[in-house]
Amino acid sequence: MKGNQKAKGFLEDNSGYTKVVGGLIALLVTIGVGALVFWEITDNFEGSSEEANASMDSTTEMATTVFDLLPIIALVVVAAIIIGIVVKMGGGN
């Protein structure tokens, strides 16, 4: 119940949009910085055995997939914001 009241207050407060945009920008910057840090760190590692190298290659392949999919989260958040604005403009709850 308290969560619903806070959500209603968030919708009525125009400064909420500023917070959402700031959070979205922070998300995108975090994704970019995280990818840069990961690639810089993995480029400097050398495995001591073939097993270690295979594990590192597997991790790198997985990270490539994850970093490719992370911007989709930002697109979903933007779409949710736009849908929320359109619903509010239409007089919906």
Domain encompassing residue 54:
32-40+49-93
User: How far apart (Å, rounded) are the C-alpha atoms in residues 3 and 5?
Assistant: 5
- Give me the long-range contacts of 33-42 (CB less than 8 A, separation at least 24): 34/67, 35/67, 38/63, 38/67
pLDDT at 12 over 60: yes
Flag whether 19 is in a domain: no
- Tell me, yes or no, whether 18 lies in a domain: no
Cα separation, 12 vs 23, whole angstroms: 18
Q: What is the pTM of this model?
A: 0.60
Residue 77 covered by a domain: yes
How many independent structural domains does the chain possess? 1
Q: What is the pLDDT of residue 87?
A: 81
pLDDT in tens, 36-90: 898 888 878 777 888 888 888 888 899 889 888 888 888 888 888 888 778 877 7
